[in-house]
Amino acid sequence: MANKKMGLEVVSSAIISFSVFLLLASTTQAQSNGVFDVTTYGAGKDITEALTNAWKSACASTKASKVLIPSGTYWLRRVTLAGPCKAAIKLQVDGILQAPVDPDKLSGGHWVNFRYIDQFTLSGRGTFDGQGKVAWSKSTCQKYKDCDSLPMNIRFDFITNALVRDITSRDSKNFHVNVLGCKNLTFQHFTVRAPGESVNTDGIHIGRSTGIYIIDSKIGTGDDCISVGDGTEELHITGVTCGPGHGISVGSLGKYPNEKPVSGIFVKNCTISDTTNGVRIKSWPNLYGGVASNMHFEDIVMNNVQNPVIIDQVYCPWNQCSLKAPSKVKISDVSFKSIRGTSATPVAVRIACSSGFPCQNVKLANINLAYRGPGGPAKSQCSNVKPIISGIMSASGC
């Protein structure tokens, strides 16, 4: 009987040894061809540890490498994938990654964070599913200034020379994407999907970054499709479809002290549908100074948009500010050209600048926006600005 038991132990030990051998062999093979598949790192339903380990191995490679998440549905807890890496690195996501439903299980303000990486590509046909429906009902940010922020789907912090392509972000609890301190980062064929009632779910928010390109992408969410924070320079948005949401917005600016200038914003060949705003620049009154200049919006189609063209320097959502003093943000060198389509409200163009710092060099050219409801036709309203108007101007008044 003892011999039989000993024989079973030997067989069991051999099986375990062989399994370890297979795991090591597959990992070695992955390393040899530069592909680090999370399934070779013990990935089960929850891939958090497997992804972390695969990333560390790939990041340490002296040759270009790729971390692969194959097709399937996986759970992923809060994770930070950081550099610097020794060579160019890719993360290919072909599966669906699901965040914890409970926002309290995602401390730190984000779900997935990419940091300090140069020569980085995030691609694949996969989805980052924030499972935010439960969290949206918990948000108090519409009522209180000092609310607790819910976690964002993806953060890109201090990323350089990078491409995000063919990826989908779905139902984030907060912003879908936050870009901070990045340089030369492109989003191409990027998709954001969330219902119009999702709270504070900006599609892509950019701040303190240079050389950001958003190309041929589709964004539908419950807040700004794209929002531009302070310190953003050379932002190019081309071929973006936006809606539902709050449009494409520069700002809000002037809410915090020591904000960096915004300059070189180019929005071109976009379509905006069924949103609360179209193309917008906004700043807070009675708070802090700032500068925003060299901003150009051209060849934009509006479909049933409530405020197609708007500069709002009395931005004060939910009465969270004071109107005792005008905005201190200086806005200059702005153009709106070839804006066409339909407005959902009689005021299709509203340029409301600061009485303390009137807007300078604002150009309106070929604005052809129709409104067919009560109080029509479409009109424009301007204050503290003398716009330079040329070509068609269907919305009279400025």
Residues assigned a catalytic role = 246
Q: Can you say how many angstroms the Cα of residue 59 is from the centroid of all Cα atoms in its chain?
A: 25
Cα(102)–Cα(113) distance, rounded to whole angstroms?
Answer: 18
Q: What are phi and psi of 268, to 5 degrees?
A: -145, 145
Question: Which sign does the torsion angle of CA 187, 253, 176, 337 carry?
Answer: negative
CA distance 173 to 180: 19
Q: Which two tokens stand for residue 128?
A: 């980052």
3-state SS, residue 271: strand
Tokens of 88: 């160019």
Burial 307-335 (b: 16+ CB within 10 A, else e): bbbbbbbbbeeeeebeeeebbbbbbeebb
User: Per the structure block, which two tokens stand in for 373?
Assistant: 């409801």
Cβ contacts of residue 204 below 8 Å, gap of 6+?
176, 177, 179, 187, 190, 192, 214, 219, 225, 226, 227
Angle at 242 between CA 270 and CA 247, to 5 degrees: 95
> According to DSSP H, which parts of the chain are helical?
2-33, 48-59, 133-136
Please, which residues bridge with residue 310 across strands? Answer: 280, 350
Taking the C-alpha atoms of 282, 285, 291 and 295 in order, what is their torsion angle to the nearest 10 degrees? Answer: 20
Tokens of 286: 């009675």
C-alpha–C-alpha distance, residues 67 and 59, integer Å: 9
Residue-wise over 345-366: b if at least 16 C-beta within 10 A, else e? bebbbbbbbbebbbbeebebbb
Residue type, 235: L
